Structure 1
Amino acid sequence: MEGQAEMDPSSFLSLFAAVSYGIASMAMVFINKAVIMQYSSSMTLLTLQQLATALLIFFGRRMGYTKAKGIDMATGKKLLPVSLFYNANVAFALASLKGVNIPMYIAIKRLTPLAVLIAGYFSGKGRPTTQVAFSVFLTAAGCVIAAVGDFSFDLFGYGMALTSVFFQTMYLVLVEKSGANDGLSSVEIMFYNSFLSLPFLFFLIVVTGEFPSSMSILLAKCSYLSFLLILIISLVMGIVLNFTMFLCTIVNSALTTTIVGVLKGVASTTLGFVLFGGVEVHGLNVTGLVVNTAGGVWYSYAKYQQKKAKPSKLMPDLEAHRK
């Protein structure tokens, strides 16, 4: 009887992965917003985050702190499209934070299931269940209502956020088709994703004109201790987020990761109203966000019901990779 009170290692790991991913994912939105408010070169920021991740794992492997394998060309070739779409998603998401407040950013990102649903339908996966379909459309309707009531509407920011949704959809579809995490640890997936991202990101910061001026601006701003501290936290949290996301995907069920994503979104929306300026609260805007959140919760419940109805289904759920 005494042994039943103790949590077995696998259950503890599952709980730890879910909680850490939820905290890291929520914190990253606010940390990136804090950096972008002072440093607008979002592509350079993403490049630094990926570079820090690749270097940490590389030296960790050299010093024996991790057993991650080296680069395999066949695996790298397989994961290259996934990495490109992943970074395009993050890059446009960072760019959108320049003009979109956090509650609306989260509401727009909840359109991803709708985009995935449509992509799945046209790729021959068939129709979703009635509950899933209605919950997704409710989420989308809430986003539209909130946008109409958003008096701080920024066309560029909304465009970047919607483009991010498109690339996130493509990323999820590719992950599902390629089974990108088969046989790889979370650390190894992180390393491939970061390593493959760097040439693409370096090319973009040069083509877009961010580099080299972005580095000189960054060095000047780093003379301020407050900004330097936020930047370091951003780089560290970028590593933590990637690790916890892949760990949660590998260790937990789709149900757990879906609920974590929704709860993170609810908490982030609430905190977004009070932690940063630029959010004008209006009845229509709040109503839309409530409807959007309700759709997200309903969506989680619908997926839970679907999973219970098919307990033997082992195909990875797309929601396991939502950011």
Structure 2
Amino acid sequence: MDVLRTRWLGISVAVAHGVFSGSLNILLKFLITNYHFGYLTLIQCLTSSTAALTLAILRRTGKINIPPYTFQLCKDFAPVCILSTLQSTLTLWSLRGLSLPMYVVFKRCLPLFTLSIGVCVLRNGIPSLGVVMAVLITTGGAALAGAGDLTGDPFGYVTGVLAVIIHASYLVLIQKTSLESEFGPLTAQYAIACTASPVLFICAIISLDAVHMWTYEGWKDPHVTCIFILCIFIGCAMNFTTLHCTYINSAVTTSFVGVVKSIATITVGMLAFNDVAPTKLFIGGVIVNTVGSITYCVVKYFETKKKALTRIWKAKAKMADFPESRIARNRS
């Protein structure tokens, strides 16, 4: 029963992460492209500050059980915080320079980088042959889809590649921290938000985002304000589900969630923005990518089922070795 509950929790968190991540990408692209919103550091700062303040209030009122923010907590999650901030920064900058479908193509290479870094960093990080095949198929689909569009901003391509590398490192480091630390994902988000908020506030001042935002004409449009607020709250939810999904499942699984949700993101991007056309190469790449994602889901299903059966078998074998069991066998 516990195995089934854990499995469904992992699936639920993965689905939630995909929904929040895809929604945030689309909303941010709307702000940047349709409304010419360029205050990206401000979005990061407010997202981090909102998460820190909300979790602090919930902790104070006893709604959640997380430790207070201390220097030791900051020290424990400092590497994760650095990569988290870099990843979100590069993601925002790559969204500015790339079309939404091309941004998704870059993100579809995430499983390959996550797998490669995980093998080097994590203990028992060597994957099965099925997982490797699924990753290679997915990456091949991303390369095929990207071959049809090389017209984006060069700066967007550079930041896109860096965003994928840093994102993969971030996911692997989360998994490593979850194995070595006693704290859960909620504590991790609290520590990251509290540590990053002052730094992002200083960056917002230095970049003049906090100053120039008052002269932005788009605030007169209520749609801009609504999308801006949604981005902040969805960003908080996405950060938590990223941590939670990686804690419960794995770094590679979290990266594959991004691949699965990208189908909807690509569709919306092509319908809402006119910066890329659905070429045959692009559609072919999407199909190959989808096959890779399905392959990974099937492989992980059978691997999880095999692990569950192994745990049940070991539990029964352990019970069979109890003295009471031996006495019962002798009496019979």
| TM tier, smaller | 0.7 to 0.9
Structure 1 alignment gaps of length 5 or more? 1-7, 314-323
- Cα deviation, residue 81, structure 1: 0.5
Aligned to 2:188: 189
Distance 1:36 1:15 in 2: 32
Q: 1:138 and 1:256, CA in 2 relative to 1: closer, same or farther beyond 3 A?
A: closer
- Cα deviation, residue 198, structure 1: 1.8
Aligned positions, number? 305
Aligned AA (1:241): M
Aligned to 1:200: 199
Q: 1:163 and 1:145, CA in 2 relative to 1: closer, same or farther beyond 3 A?
A: same
String of CA shifts for 1:223-244, please: whole Å, max 9, x gaps: 3322111111111111222233
Distance 2:252 2:154 in 1: 35
User: Does 1:119 pair with 2:117?
Assistant: yes
Query: 2:46 touches 2:232 (CA, 8 Å); kept in 1?
Result: yes
User: Does 1:69 pair with 2:63?
Assistant: no
Query: 1:181 touches 1:189 (CA, 8 Å); kept in 2?
Result: no
Task: Give secondary structure in 2 for the equivalent of 1:104.
Answer: helix
Aligned to 2:235: 238
State TM-score, norm by structure 1.
Answer: 0.80
- Cα deviation, residue 214, structure 1: 4.0
Task: Give secondary structure in 2 for the equivalent of 1:97.
Answer: helix
Summarize the alignment of residues 1-323 of structure 1 with structure 2, pairs less than 5 Å apart.
Answer: 16-37=12-33, 38-123=36-121, 128-150=127-149, 152-179=151-178, 182-206=181-205, 209-218=207-216, 220-250=217-247, 260-311=257-308
Segment drifting more, 229-238 vs 124-133: 124-133
Task: Give secondary structure in 1 for the equivalent of 2:220.
Answer: coil
Q: 1:147 and 1:135, CA in 2 relative to 1: closer, same or farther beyond 3 A?
A: same
Q: 1:87 and 1:180, CA in 2 relative to 1: closer, same or farther beyond 3 A?
A: farther
- Cα deviation, residue 34, structure 1: 1.6
Distance 2:138 2:11 in 1: 27
Query: 1:85 touches 1:170 (CA, 8 Å); kept in 2?
Result: yes
Aligned to 1:318: none
Percent identity between the aligned chains? 28
Structure 2 alignment gaps of length 5 or more? 312-332
String of CA shifts for 1:203-222, please: whole Å, max 9, x gaps: 44455x3444443345x432
Aligned AA (1:69): P
Distance 1:176 1:16 in 2: 18
Aligned to 1:316: none
Larger radius of gyration: 2
Query: 1:53 touches 1:238 (CA, 8 Å); kept in 2?
Result: no
String of CA shifts for 1:32-82, please: whole Å, max 9, x gaps: 212222312222211111112112222333344444331132222110110
Query: 2:114 touches 2:252 (CA, 8 Å); kept in 1?
Result: no
String of CA shifts for 1:75-131, please: whole Å, max 9, x gaps: 221101101101211111111111222222222112122112322444586754333
Aligned to 2:315: none
Q: 1:203 and 1:167, CA in 2 relative to 1: closer, same or farther beyond 3 A?
A: farther
